[in-house]
């Protein structure tokens, strides 16, 4: 019998919830539509397509004809539509009930619009944990596809990956296909004959063998320079034509078609894994560097490199929640809303919560919860979209609860699952999350009428790819030829980014309390080089809750620049009024030692209004005309009683009123992050840092009050 090979060619196409409409449109014009145009010229090629819920929603609204074209190819047998969890959540990151509902939401869409429910599902980012077969099988899913590395970690050899295996959890079995890395890295970046040679070299008269390439649809037109190489220069036409010409031994099939004629190669149990790059990204940055050094070391030895690589791996996806507290904050907000939904469903019935369920599912879209080669967590508009969906979902649920008009609520709960209780202050307008354990800080400030978290700020952190900037390996503005994957590109979108490699030594949240020298400068505060004279900023505070308020207290040492220290007690009371979008913060600073205190006291306030460079986002003050400096500008102003961050685009203003005039510093937080187009600078929020001179004799008290006002403005 002649040697044969079956080829499953699949595309997974996705745009995040909250991505800009023009990005959807560009991806459609550059990748999704031209791919289908090319496919129609090659009727002998069968492919599997997966589109996520955000894309399907967009197609329904903007390109319904595209869905009709897809259905025609499904009915003709040329395309198989693969399912998934509708809004592309990570199954390991959401409750099981939500996983089942998301998969069933996609199953229903496919049956309605493509005429048949999917037999398989795309697993988001190929993030696998051993409990997933039970979820899939219970949702009616028969198979999925994972990276070949998953199977090699499970003990299989490379030559054993041309087919599929069966795995199970709790007796629920699903079929799992290996996606082959040699094809994933070659297509569409290397010459077509390289992939054909690989397939020919692994063809066999036994089996029948099957090779799977299933990867991002955006590789075919959206990734840098690929529209030119894939369509203008004809790579995809050439590939489909080459497969067609080799049809005597190379058979283009869908998963469904292959399952109808081939049985499993055996049983396998897979460990927690994703693709290799993801597992490295999930590690702390220092551990990433160590892993990279070890990989380089073993790969220098050709006799052990390939084998040793099989036993080298990074962490797994949940590591991002430890690496980035901001990701954990979003994740726990999502769980908080999901649990609230589950409770109300039990009381009111599922049908009464349908709008909240849809919003929750949208807020579970994975992209903003982690970071790798794509911007992900670093893209403030994606984080904003997640919070917007979750805040709106929670507001929907609150409307189902009978409460008196003008209600307030104080809740003590381990919100972020760190073993310590947080305090939530809430009314119909605001949701405040306070962390007694972490400096008594304000980690979340939701303005419900706009479904907007003003404290959605990202801390500046060291990342492995910053080494390329520091060591001069990054090129600026160079265009590639479409022959490199995004994992191989080393470029930056602008020059001088190394000047922004400034890192914070604590998470940036509001209400961190600092004692600083009287000559502190804005540059020192921005660069995190100022001398911290107190031990309050990140220390735990004791707390007491009352009716609509919480008081956080800590006694600590304030050091002087001449040496020695005084014992000071800081008490801050945050009071939230009923039905109001204003809250007050009262500071009582007591000298409980024997020596007088002469220093300066400062408090951090943070806000992210999404842009630091546009003219419709600016600072203003009732005290004087500032000239509307943009939120990305640096500055220092003396004798300030009122300061506001204004957003004319959202028609929203965050105001701060001080009962004692302050010297006010302001500066932006800007990160350098990796994206598919190279390293880039991103505005992550603004820091407003009022400072007051402080002289307190032994046994005396000084008090300050700050009023925070959230208000909507005219256009």
Measured from the Cβ of residue 212, the count of other Cβ atoms closer than 10 Å reads: 26
Phi, psi of 458 (to 5 degrees): -110, 135
Q: Which two tokens stand for residue 379?
A: 């893209």
Residue 216 bears catalytic tag: yes
Taking residue 347's Cβ as centre, other Cβ atoms within 10 Å add up to: 10
Contact 644, 621 (CB under 8 A): yes
User: 515-519 long-range contacts, Cβ below 8 Å, gap at least 24?
Assistant: 515/558, 515/559, 515/568, 515/599, 515/600, 515/601, 515/602, 515/694, 516/599, 516/600, 516/601, 516/602, 516/691, 517/561, 517/599, 517/600, 518/599, 518/600, 518/693
From 88, 125, 276, 590, active-site residue: 125
First to last CA, the chain: 75
Candidate list 142, 169, 216, 421, residue with the active-site label: 216
Q: Are 97 and 89 in contact (CB under 8 A)?
A: no
Block residue for tokens 């707390």: 543
The dihedral over CA atoms of 286, 290, 296, 297, expressed in degrees to the nearest 10, equals 160
Give the CA angle between residues 177, 180, 182 to the nearest 5°.
Answer: 175
Residue 247: other Cβ atoms inside 10 A: 11
Give the length of the chain: 715
- Angle of the 96-114 helix axis to the 354-362 helix axis, nearest 10: 100
- Alpha-carbon distance of 41 to 566, in angstroms, equals 80
Q: Which of 387, 400, 270 is nearest to 340 (CA)?
A: 400
CA nearest neighbour of 706 among 590, 542, 593, 587: 587
Buried b / exposed e over 624-648, threshold 16 CB at 10 Å, is eeeeeebbbeeebbeebebbbbbbb
> In this structure, what token pair is assigned to residue 567?
């014992």
Q: Which residues are catalytically annotated?
A: 125, 216
């Amino acid at each position: 019998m002649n040697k044969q090979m079956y080829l499953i060619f699949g595309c997974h196409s996705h745009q995040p919830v909250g991505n800009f409409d023009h990005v959807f449109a560009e991806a459609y014009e550059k990748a999704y539509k031209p791919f289908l145009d090319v496919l129609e010229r090659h009727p002998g090629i069968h492919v599997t397509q997966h589109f996520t819920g955000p894309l399907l929603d967009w197609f329904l609204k903007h390109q319904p004809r595209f869905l009709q074209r897809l259905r025609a190819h499904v009915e003709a047998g040329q395309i198989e539509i693969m399912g998934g969890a509708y809004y592309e959540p990570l199954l390991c990151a959401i409750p099981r009930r939500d996983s089942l509902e998301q998969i069933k939401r996609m199953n229903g869409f496919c049956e309605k619009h493509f005429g048949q429910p999917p037999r398989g599902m795309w697993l988001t980012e190929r993030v696998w944990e051993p409990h997933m077969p039970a979820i899939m099988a219970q949702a009616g899913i028969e198979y999925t596809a994972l990276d070949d590395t998953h199977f090699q970690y499970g003990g299989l050899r490379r030559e054993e990956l041309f087919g599929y295996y069966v795995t199970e959890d709790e007796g629920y079995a699903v079929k799992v296909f290996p996606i082959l890395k040699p094809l994933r890295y070659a297509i569409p970046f290397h010459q077509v004959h390289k992939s054909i040679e690989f397939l020919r070299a692994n063809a066999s008269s036994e089996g029948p063998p099957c090779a799977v390439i299933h990867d991002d649809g955006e590789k075919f037109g959206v990734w840098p320079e690929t529209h030119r190489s894939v369509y203008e220069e004809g790579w995809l036409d050439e590939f489909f034509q080459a497969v067609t010409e080799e049809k005597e031994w190379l058979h283009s099939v869908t998963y469904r078609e292959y399952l109808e004629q081939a049985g499993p190669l055996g049983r396998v149990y897979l460990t927690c894994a994703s693709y290799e790059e993801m597992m490295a990204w999930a590690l702390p940055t220092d551990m990433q560097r160590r892993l990279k050094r070890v990989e380089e070391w073993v790969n220098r030895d050709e006799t052990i490199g390939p084998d040793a690589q099989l036993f080298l791996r990074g962490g797994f996806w949940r590591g991002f929640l430890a690496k980035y507290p901001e990701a954990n904050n979003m994740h726990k907000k999502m769980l908080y809303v999901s649990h609230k939904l589950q409770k109300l469903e039990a009381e009111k019935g599922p049908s009464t919560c349908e709008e909240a369920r849809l919003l929750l599912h949208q807020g579970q879209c994975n992209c903003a919860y982690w970071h790798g080669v794509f911007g992900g967590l670093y893209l403030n508009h994606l984080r904003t979209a997640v919070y917007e969906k979750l805040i709106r979902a929670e507001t929907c649920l609150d409307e189902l609860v009978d409460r008196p008009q003008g209600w307030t609520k104080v809740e003590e709960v381990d919100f972020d699952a760190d073993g310590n209780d947080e305090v939530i202050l809430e009314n119909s307008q605001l949701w405040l999350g306070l962390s007694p354990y972490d400096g008594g800080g304000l980690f979340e400030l939701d303005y419900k009428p706009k479904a907007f978290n003003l404290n959605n700020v990202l801390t500046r952190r060291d990342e492995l790819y910053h080494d390329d900037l520091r060591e001069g390996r990054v090129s600026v503005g160079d265009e590639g030829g479409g022959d490199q994957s995004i994992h191989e590109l080393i470029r930056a979108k602008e020059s001088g980014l190394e000047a922004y490699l400034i890192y914070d030594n604590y998470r940036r949240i509001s209400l961190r309390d600092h004692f600083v020298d009287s000559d502190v400068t804005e540059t020192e505060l921005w660069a995190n080089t100022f001398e911290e004279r107190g031990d309050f900023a990140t220390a735990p505070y004791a707390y007491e809750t009352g009716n609509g308020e919480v008081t956080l207290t800590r006694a600590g040492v304030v050091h002087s620049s001449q040496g020695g220290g005084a014992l000071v007690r800081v008490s801050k009371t945050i009071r939230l009024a009923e039905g109001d979008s204003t809250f007050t913060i009262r500071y009582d600073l007591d000298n409980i030692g024997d020596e007088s205190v002469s220093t300066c006291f400062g408090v951090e306030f943070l806000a992210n209004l999404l842009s630091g460079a546009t003219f419709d986002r600016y600072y203003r003050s009732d005290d004087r005309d500032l000239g509307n400096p943009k939120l990305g500008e640096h500055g220092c102003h003396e004798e300030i009683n009122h300061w506001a961050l204004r957003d004319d685009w959202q028609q929203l203003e965050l105001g701060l009123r001080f009962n004692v005039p302050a010297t006010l510093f302001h500066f932006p937080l800007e990160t350098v992050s990796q994206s598919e187009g190279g390293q880039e600078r991103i505005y992550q929020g603004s820091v407003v840092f009022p400072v007051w001179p402080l002289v307190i004799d032994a046994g005396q008290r000084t008090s300050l009050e700050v009023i925070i006002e959230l208000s909507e403005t005219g256009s």
